Amino acid sequence: MGKTLAYKLLENHLVSGEMTPGEEITIKIDQTLTQDSTGTMVYLQLEAMDIDKVQTELSVAYVDHNTLQTGFENADDHEFIKSVARRHGVLFSKPGNGICHQLHLENFGIPGKTLLGSDSHTPTGGGIGMIAIGAGGLDVAMAMARGTYSLTMPEVYNVKLTGKLRPWVSAKDVILYVLQQLSVKGGVGRIMEYTGDGVANLSVPDRATITNMGAELGATTSVFPSDENTKAFMEAMGRGADFVPLAADADAVYDGVLEVDLSTLEPLAAKPHSPDNVDSVANIGAIKVDQVAIGSCTNSSYADLMKVAEILKGRKVAPDVSLVISPGSSRILTKLATNGALADLIQAGARVIENACGPCIGMGQSPRSGGVSLRTFNRNFKGRSGTKDADIYLVSPETAAYSAIQGVLATGMGKEDLQPVPAAELTPNDNFIVYPEGTNTENTPVQMGPNIKPFPLNVALGEELKGRVAIHAGDNITTDDIMPSDSRLLPYRSNVPHLSDYSFETIDTGFPARCREYQSNVIVGGENYGQGSSREHAALVPLYLGVRFVMAKSFARIHRSNLINSGIVPMVFVDPSDYDTIELGDTMVIENALEQIQGQEEIVVKNITKNKEYVMKPELSDLEKEMIRYGGKINTLKAKQ
Ligand code: MIC
Ligand code: SF4
């Protein structure tokens, strides 16, 4: 029986465990990346582990999220990260260099290697045949300290591509189509592996757009083969020597398949407020647009921005539209500046902003109240733009640029020609990277600004776990709901006490006060609880607010791990209809908690208020049970030292 590419790459890195879906495996991690909004926590945790040099082949600390610097907080965080990076042999990418995932593809990614990143869109690296996985900060800190990562062996799901995209249809439409078919939980417990004749018709930036948004499917990661297009990309980045050809066996067997004929796809859009709420641009119709935002780790490549420049050249952004463009990297912006495309963008009326995440994470450029914003980004969760009542649509760069001119949602398909963008070499720019060179780097003093507060720690599991239901939430609750992020809050990513006042702000402003009143708390959620980002603040803030366990219909992968790393028990309803019988304020208790959680597959949670009993499954591996027992990962490490 032939092997899938994902299986081969994992097998090459296997340290322990059986490679059967659902079993826990430990793999060697070759590279790690962090970004600044999760990075401060990662490096605080790394410091707590008391190591000298990192154990990976390469670790990079990027600064791309918190670049507004409206006060001292962000700049202090940057200094902190830079000092710890130097101390432990980590490369530091200065703010302004670009977005971590784009930069990693350009500068450091290598086909066949493993990459663990403290950001959910780390699977962008799957575009060049890496096994690139997003994880919580503590897992990334551990990977730096030990060079390994443990995960549940996923199934490998095949997306088989045939045909060729038509002009005005792009990689973004491919992944929006997959999301429409499979939904935001369609990838949970899976690696999405792309194969078929159609693969050869997609460039690396196209593939990276698709693997990037595999995060929105909830997938563990996504991967493309490494082929002639990969070679061309690596050469254009000045790294031809790093190319390695990789593919699945011809007779590889998959756990499921979705066939996509690229030549039949049309321009699509994800409507508010979920990336899988997809319809065609034609069906949605010519809705009036207030803002168009082009960029993010999904669609800020050189090819994307050149398509945008071609569409805008010699034309004018509609009077009622604000068009904002954030290039993915310093290399890309340099190329646009030297070939004249930047002038075309500005001349048309575009606002070109810093090479960073920017509006994608609500760091500036919030749309007007009740406004409509078309974005080439990957998430359109309610409130994420910084404007609670704005309607965000996710679209391709082609659709975004054409709509910016028309002032309404529109595609140029069938109306205008659009030429493919020829590949171009992007001159390397090392001047934004600080290398940890020299002797005695381990003596570099750690720079801690006053905004950096210690992270909360749980306590060992007691005989009884008891708490009151502080929120009864619905399906697909995002980490943006649990711990919102925007220009007000992102500067406080190293200050959990401050963040705690805003938890669940978008859906229930009473949550923090209720938690403080009850003191010991329970969260109840629906399907896919904790989807979205890797931010462990969505676990650390509830921990700080006294949350002891979470009862849900199902969990998203990274958030579930973050809860366990914090010593909070995630549990799944055996009978999902139990969910409906629970109300806010109910008192829940797990008797003999230690014995039940450590020993049994199914445990009983008593609802004392309603006099009911619920059978729940914690579904914990042996390592996870240990973490719950000691009260989280850090406490486990300490206990076992
Ligand atoms: C996001 O896109 O939501 C983020 C901001 O990049 C997060 C990380 C974070 O919350 O810092 C992610 O995707 O993991
Ligand atoms: Fe940055 Fe947005 Fe990508 Fe997250 S999704 S890494 S905020 S660009």
Q: Say whether both 212 and 275 belong to one domain.
A: no
Point out the ligand 2 atom lying closest to the alpha carbon of residue 298. Answer: 3
Q: Does residue 291 sit in the same domain as residue 248? A: no
Range of the domain at 326: 270-406
Tokens found for residue 341: 């495309």
Ligand 1 centroid–CA 248 distance in Å is: 31
Residue minimizing CA distance to atom 10 of ligand 1: 535
Nearest protein CA to atom 7 of ligand 1, as residue: 533
- The answer on 362 and 490 residing in a single domain is no
**Is 61 a domain residue?**
yes
Helices (H) and strands (E) in the chain, counts: 21, 27
Q: How far apart are CA 400 and CA 394, in angstroms?
A: 9
Structural domain includes residue 395: yes
Report yes or no: 392 and 384 within 8 Å, Cβ to Cβ: yes
Identify the CATH number of the domain in which residue 332 sits: 3.30.499.10
Question: Is 458 inside a domain boundary?
Answer: no
| Residue 510 alpha carbon to ligand 1 centre in Å | 24
Query: Whole-prediction pTM value?
Result: 0.98
Q: Average pLDDT of the chain?
A: 97
**Residue 1, CA atoms < 13 Å, CB-side half-sphere:** 5
Residue 412 belongs to some domain of the structure: no
Strand residue runs (E) in 249-359 = 256-261, 268-270, 278-280, 291-294, 322-325, 350-352
User: Is 247's pLDDT higher than 90?
Assistant: yes
- Predicted confidence band of residue 69 (pLDDT cuts 50, 70, 90): very high
Residues 298-317 have a mean pLDDT of 98
User: How many angstroms is it from 298 CA to the middle of ligand 2?
Assistant: 8
Q: Of 218, 246, 264, which marks where a domain is finished?
A: 264
Q: Does an H or E element contain 197, and which?
A: none
Q: How confident is the model at residue 633 (pLDDT cuts 50, 70, 90)?
A: very high
Please give the distance, rounded to the nearest whole angstrom, from the Cα atom of residue 101 to the centre of ligand 2.
Answer: 9
Cα separation, 301 vs 208, in Å, equals 9
- Which tens digit of pLDDT belongs to each residue from 179-200? 999 999 999 999 999 999 999 9
Same domain as 342, residue 373:
yes
Residue 544 or 640, more confident = 544
- Calculate how far, in angstroms, residue 11's C-alpha sits from the geometric centre of ligand 1: 29
Look at the chain and report how many structural domains it folds into: 3
pLDDT higher than 80, residue 630: yes
Ligand 2 site residues (CB inside 6 A) read 65, 99, 119, 121, 296-297, 357, 360-361, 377-378
Residue 443 belongs to a domain: no
Residue 416 is inside which H or E element, if any?
none
* Res. 641 pLDDT band, cuts 50 70 90: confident
What was the pLDDT predicted at 71?
94
Residues 246, 291 within the same domain: no
Distance CA 559, CA 415 (A): 45
Q: Do 247 and 394 share a domain, yes or no?
A: no
Ligand 1: residue whose CA is nearest its atom 5: 361
Domain boundary pick from 360, 381, 406: 406
User: Ligand 1: which of 77, 119, 138, 483 to mutate, judged by most atoms within 8 Å of the beta carbon?
Assistant: 119
Whether residues 303 and 252 share a domain: the answer is no
Q: Beginning with the edge strand found earlier in the chain, give each strand of the sheet holding 433-434 in spatial order.
A: 131-134, 114-117, 31-34, 58-62, 91-93, 433-434
Query: Is there a single domain that holds both residue 70 and residue 157?
Result: yes
Question: Which ligand neighbours the alpha carbon of 329 most closely?
Answer: 2
- Asked, for residue 439, whether it belongs to a domain, the answer is no
**Which residue owns the Cα nearest ligand 1 atom 9?**
535
Do 398 and 531 lie in one domain? The reply is no
Tens of pLDDT, residues 452-485 = 998 899 999 999 999 999 999 999 999 999 999 9
Q: What is the pLDDT of residues 560-599, one digit of tens each?
A: 999 999 999 999 999 999 999 999 999 999 999 999 999 8
Do both 343 and 294 map to the same domain?
yes
For residue 48, the model assigns a pLDDT of 87
Q: Which helix (H) or strand (E) holds 62?
A: strand 58-62
Which has the closest alpha carbon to 620: 606, 600, 605, 639?
Answer: 600
Expressed in angstroms and rounded, the spacing between residue 296 Cα and the centre of ligand 2 is 6
Boundary residue ending a domain (249, 264, 279): 264
Within a domain: 542: yes
CATH assignment at residue 570: 3.20.19.10
Question: 179: CA distance to ligand 2 center in Å?
Answer: 18
Nearest to 134 by CA among 481, 530, 557, 455: 557
Residue nearest to atom 6 of ligand 1 (CA): 119
For 384-418, write each residue's pLDDT tens digit. Answer: 999 999 999 999 999 999 999 999 999 999 999 99
Kindly state the helix (H) or strand (E) to which residue 546 belongs, with its residue range.
none
421 within domain boundaries? no
Task: State whether 257 and 309 are in the same domain.
Answer: no
Residues 383 and 524 in one domain: no
For the CA of 120, the nearest atom of ligand 1: 14
